[in-house]
Structure 1
Amino acid sequence: MTEQNTRLGILLMIATTFVFALQDGISRHLAAEYNTLMVVMIRYWFFAAFVVVLAARSPGGLAATARTGQPLLQIFRGLLLACEICVMVLAFVLLGLVESHAVFASYPLIIAALSGPVLGEKVGWRRWGAIGIGFLGVLIILQPGAGVFAAAAVVPLISATLFACYGLATRYAARKDSAATSFFWTGTVGAAAMTAVGLWSWQPMAAADWGWMALLCVFGALGHWLLIKCYAVAEASAVQPFAYLQLVFAASMGILVFGEALRPNVALGAAIVTAAGIFTLLRSRKPAPPPEDPAKPAS
């Protein structure tokens, strides 16, 4: 049984979103110049090498780290994440960081809503209320029918769904496998899958962009390690509202680095979803009320 530590899980989720935002900015830059599949493939090569080195240095070595009683689940996780990354990087090119993440912000809602029936986690009515408020904030960002919800917006919506499924599968896998095992399978399965499709899209890369690629690889490995650790120590429904912060971080990078526009509805929606996450944090810190004594007469 995985020990629960909600506060640590929340801190890990905030760190994860910041690292992912940095990674997304670099991905946007590289994918605008090179084929998306090639960019993701090279990132996965470094990712796989990193996890193999870690596994080899761990107690029991590579064989012990790779050992799992649920290989199909681990392969499924790895394929889900590889597909999600490709789809989301494509969205960055089509929509930019601000609008892509505005749509992608729906994925924590999907995870929180499914954490009960899929993982058996308890989601109280107050937390459901915060999730609902966060969803209203997403609707404000999207403004259905007002420009953002165009055909291209389907791309980050697909990415959000894939990532929600990956998050749930990661949490489920953590019940039997260690974070190191899940990390190993994430990197190796993704690298194998992306190599099978990415080699056909190879393009020569400028020397300066290899430096950006190296940073992308570092942030990719770090971000997914933090995410696996996050799900290993906390309930998905408790930490997911804080994944909305990736919208804030990525939007800031889109505006400051890439000159993207921040429309008023995006700012308002981001404030609402962030407030919903803070409220959920406050609720998670409050201990549950003691059960009533059935022998005590009602007052």
Structure 2
Amino acid sequence: MVLAMLLFAIEDTLLKTATASVPVGQTLMLFGMGGTLGFLLLTWRRGERAFTPQALKATLFTRAFFEILGRLFFLLSLALNTLSSTSAILQATPIAVTLGAAVLFGERVSWQRWVAIMIGFVGVLMIIQPSSEAFQVTSILAILGMIGFAGRDLATRAAPPALSNMQLGVYGFAVLIPTGAFYSLWSGGFVSPDRFSGFMIAAGTLVGIGAYYSLTVAMRTGLVSVVTPFRYSRLLFGLMLGLLVFDESADAMTLAGSAIIVLSGLYILMSNATRKSSAPTRVSERT
């Protein structure tokens, strides 16, 4: 999950740079084309069929809907808002994912973890500052993107086990092609990307493939309530890249909120490690 967050932050930086000269819809379409091709090659390399009857399950259509919602609105937020602010708002995703995992999958979340996650959410609110003039209307785009990513992650968890991570990658990127094309037609058409923008999109696609695969593995093999808090690391990567690449500055509230988010995530990590270390003892006693 940490690797996925680092790669996603790099992807965000590359695509945000590209949207300075290439419309959001066209960027999304080209990104989807490259990602689909990449995962198709990986799927065929494993000797798997790209499309199977399992891809027509209702869960996959739900996943596609949330994929579109997350990708489109998050990219719009990246184009119109700062990278650091958009990354910060995205940190509310663990709250929605953990709640959904408890309701839909019956995963047990201890009250200590709930408290730690909610404290992390307070840190996010400190960064967003919804009641102050610092809050921007464009932040709503990031909130919609966050909801989309949370729904996608939960649908990934519920996807048919017969589908590999590579196949899910094909489906996830493929739906972005028509989405980007239709949005481009609706918002003003296409342009001819210059060499630099084309390189940014291509590099973002390659990094995005690695990020997407890492995230899918984490969500399908790890306990959702355990791996989800590590999404907080994306905030740190986003702040650093925003400062280094776009010269974005973080105010005191942003830094304080970031510290709270990190500390709550570390507490969840330590509580999980303690629980795992005590598990063999309990097994031994039952035996």
How high is the TM-score relative to the length of structure 1? Answer: 0.86
Q: Aligned partner of 1:221: which letter?
A: I
Instruction: Give the share of equivalent positions with the same residue, in percent.
Output: 23
- 1:125 CA drift (Å): 1.0
Alignment map for 1:25-64 (pairs within 5 Å): 25-59=13-47, 61-62=48-49
Q: Aligned partner of 1:242: which letter?
A: F
SS in 2 for 1:227: helix
* Partner of residue 261, structure 1: 249
Say if 1:177 and 1:119 are closer, same or farther in 2 by CA, change over 3 A.
farther
Distance 2:154 2:228 in 1: 11
- 1:69 CA drift (Å): 6.4
Task: Confirm whether residue 281 of structure 1 aligns to residue 269 of structure 2.
Answer: yes
Moved more, 264-273 or 190-199: 190-199
Q: Aligned partner of 1:215: which letter?
A: A
Q: Aligned partner of 1:244: which letter?
A: Y
Alignment map for 1:149-164 (pairs within 5 Å): 149-164=135-150
- Pairwise CA RMSD: 2.1
- 1:189 CA drift (Å): 3.0
Say if 1:158 and 1:229 are closer, same or farther in 2 by CA, change over 3 A.
same
Distance 2:60 2:220 in 1: 15
In the TM superposition, what whole-angstrom CA distance separates every residue of 1:197-234 from its partner, at most 9, and x where no partner exists?
Answer: 44663111111221112101101111111111111210
Distance 1:53 1:257 in 2: 32
Say if 1:278 and 1:92 are closer, same or farther in 2 by CA, change over 3 A.
same
Distance 1:160 1:183 in 2: 19
What 5-or-longer segments of structure 2 have no aligned partner? none
Task: Confirm whether residue 18 of structure 1 aligns to residue 6 of structure 2.
Answer: yes
In the TM superposition, what whole-angstrom CA distance separates every residue of 1:95-129 from its partner, at most 9, and x where no partner exists?
Answer: 21111122221111111122100122111111111
Q: Check the 8 A contact 1:67/1:181 in 2, yes or no.
A: no
* Partner of residue 106, structure 2: 120
Q: Aligned partner of 2:61: which letter?
A: I
**Aligned counterpart in structure 1 of residue 168 of structure 2, from 182, 198, 215:** 182
Q: Check the 8 A contact 1:105/1:244 in 2, yes or no.
A: yes
Q: Aligned partner of 2:153: which letter?
A: G
Say if 1:150 and 1:209 are closer, same or farther in 2 by CA, change over 3 A.
closer
**Aligned counterpart in structure 2 of residue 109 of structure 1, from 92, 95, 106:** 95
The number of aligned residues is 278
- 1:286 CA drift (Å): 1.8
Q: Check the 8 A contact 2:28/2:176 in 1, yes or no.
A: no
Distance 2:133 2:239 in 1: 18
Distance 2:115 2:272 in 1: 13
Distance 1:69 1:46 in 2: 20
- 1:154 CA drift (Å): 1.1
Distance 1:192 1:66 in 2: 20
- 1:158 CA drift (Å): 0.9
Say if 1:79 and 1:105 are closer, same or farther in 2 by CA, change over 3 A.
same
SS in 2 for 1:151: coil
SS in 2 for 1:215: helix
SS in 2 for 1:146: coil
**Aligned counterpart in structure 1 of residue 157 of structure 2, from 153, 171, 189:** 171
